[in-house]
Amino acid sequence: MCGSSPLPELPEVEATAAKLDRWTRGRSLLRVELLDASLLKAGDLQAVAGLTVSRAWRRAKYALLELGPMTLVFHLRMTGKLVRADGKRPPRARLHLDDGSFVGFEDVRRFAELWVLDTDDLEAFFTGKKLGPEPWPMARDGAWWAAQLGGLKSPVKTALLRQDKVAGLGNIAASEILWRAGVSPSTAASAVTPTQWAAIAEAAPAHLAMALADASQEDFVYLTESKSAANNPFRVYGREEEPCPRCGVAVARFVQSGRATFWCPGCQQ
């Protein structure tokens, strides 16, 4: 049975990087076959031809393929996906390896981006993207979350999406974390109590670990690709009018800053 994930957020990109590392580490990248020129935003793909893969890893919502002095940086955006061989959709690029295999990059909505960078320039690249610190897998307590977000006047759900404060969280994660923590998404971040920040500190790794396990399945699909509600692994996201799994009150949906928020009016106060 395949897993089902939302569009790529921190856990999905983490799973993508782990799979890419497993498929490519120690192999020589013979060439990158670019099938859609608009994917490449900067750099020369010839610069990585013949280099050996050191590792694949994640920073925020970016998947990186490091090849010694050069690194390929993928921003998956809404539908980007790295797959073994060709998947169900025409790829925008293929990474050809020295064992005869290749990794395809699918992206049905064509919003994803690719950069070819000197590895020494990665820190400056991400500084330019104004990314904040990672929330996971390192331990982050309630005081850390309060220090990052507690000074913001915006609703806490919106604050969780501030990539300059906490890098990698997306819309689904924000709804799910706040449900697990029992915190209303409409509460101003500046009004969240220390007890609530502590609950968020426990909820974040619980959600991210669950989502990572789901996305780590070899043949997972994004919720945007699936027509079946049975493929939704989340507690409240996408479950408007269904009973809350904690208290039974109907899950509600509303829009915050142009994004859908799912929450339980019964147990998120």
pLDDT in tens, 216-226: 876 666 655 55
pLDDT number for residue 231: 73
239 phi/psi in degrees, rounded to 5: -120, 35
| Whether the Cβ atoms of residue 25 and residue 56 lie closer than 8 Å to each other | yes
Residue 226, helix vs strand vs coil:
coil
Extract the tokens encoding 161: 């999406």
| Whether the Cβ atoms of residue 112 and residue 79 lie closer than 8 Å to each other | yes
Look up the pTM and report it.
0.91
What are the DSSP E strand ranges found in 124-228? 221-222
Encoded amino acid at 105, one letter: F
d(CA 154, CA 98): 50
The residues annotated as belonging to the active site are 8-9, 61, 259
Domains in the chain, ordered, with CATH?
A: 4-128 (3.20.190.10), 142-263 (1.10.8.50)
Extract the tokens encoding 6: 């939302």
Sign (positive or negative) of CA dihedral 53, 55, 61, 62: negative
Question: How many residues does this entry show for the chain?
Answer: 269
Residue-level pLDDT, tens digit, the chain, 269 residues: 344 445 689 999 999 999 999 999 999 999 999 999 999 999 999 999 999 999 999 999 999 999 999 999 999 998 899 998 877 789 999 999 999 999 999 999 999 999 999 999 999 999 999 999 999 999 999 999 999 999 999 999 999 999 999 999 999 999 999 999 999 999 999 999 999 999 999 999 999 999 998 888 766 666 555 555 567 889 999 999 999 999 999 999 999 999 999 999 999 98
Longest dimension (CA), the chain: 58
d(CA 83, CA 78): 15
